[in-house]
Chain A
């Protein structure tokens, strides 16, 4: 099974900051990597797919990069609405696994 490890587990930041979350895969997944945002009590929301493709309707301050085993999600000019938990997800045609999540909290 492919394991996904996110860091950090928690991140404290202020409005306007640039934040970066890292996700590492236990083996190469090419660019089959997605990022989700989840707010408390809500379903996750897809932000990024294929490592760097922005889902329709997602603000451009969100961006993704990476390939192989190391990936990053970057949020520039952090907004109040962005304080949430973020998950990476590796996927192929028949299975998927999520990272353990990174909580972005107000500093």
Chain B
């Protein structure tokens, strides 16, 4: 059964870099039918797509975040990761990893549980 699990620090200081890993189990991240992505949700607010990656390393980013975001993949560990640089309080959110079916921004058909990242000194 497919599982996605986010991991990483729950607290990040302003101006530093937020780093998260998503570990995929129950399927190979090399499955050529899927892209793998990150979505975030500030407390009490709506959803924002951050970006996604194919197992080959091809990436697609939300234009509004592109200058601060890096998504990478480690096929040997069946993981993909997210880095957001120069964070501020506005980056405080629950961060979800998810699977996109078919294309880089296709609807997310499977999600992790999410992890809350707070930006505070």
Question: Which residues of A are in contact with B by a Cβ distance under 8 Å?
Answer: 1, 34, 36, 43-46, 49, 55, 87, 89, 91-101
**Main DSSP-derived SS at the B contact region:** loop
A91 interface neighbour in B62, B107, B113, Cβ under 8 Å:
B107
B105 and A94: CB pair below 8 A? yes
Question: A87 to B48, alpha carbons, bound, how many Å?
Answer: 11
Interchain Cβ contacts within 8 Å, total number = 55
Question: A98 to B46, alpha carbons, bound, how many Å?
Answer: 8
Question: A89 to B114, alpha carbons, bound, how many Å?
Answer: 19
Please, which residue of chain A has its CB at the minimum distance from the CB of B51?
A: A95
B108 and A97: CB pair below 8 A? no
13 further A-B contacts with Cβ under 8 Å, apart from A36-B107, A46-B109, A89-B107, are A1-B64, A34-B107, A36-B47, A43-B96, A45-B111, A46-B107, A55-B109, A91-B103, A91-B106, A93-B104, A96-B49, A101-B46, A101-B47
Question: A53 to B65, alpha carbons, bound, how many Å?
Answer: 31
Task: For B114, list chain A residues within 8 Å (CB).
Answer: 43
B105 and A46: CB pair below 8 A? no
Task: For A34, list chain B residues within 8 Å (CB).
Answer: 107
Task: For A97, list chain B residues within 8 Å (CB).
Answer: 49
- 23 A-B pairs (CB sep. < 8 Å): A1-B63, A36-B47, A43-B96, A43-B111, A43-B112, A43-B113, A43-B114, A44-B111, A46-B109, A55-B109, A91-B103, A94-B60, A94-B105, A95-B49, A95-B62, A95-B105, A96-B49, A96-B105, A98-B48, A98-B49, A99-B46, A100-B46, A101-B47
Task: For B107, list chain A residues within 8 Å (CB).
Answer: 34, 36, 46, 49, 89, 91, 96
Please, which residue of chain A has its CB at the minimum distance from the CB of B108?
A: A46
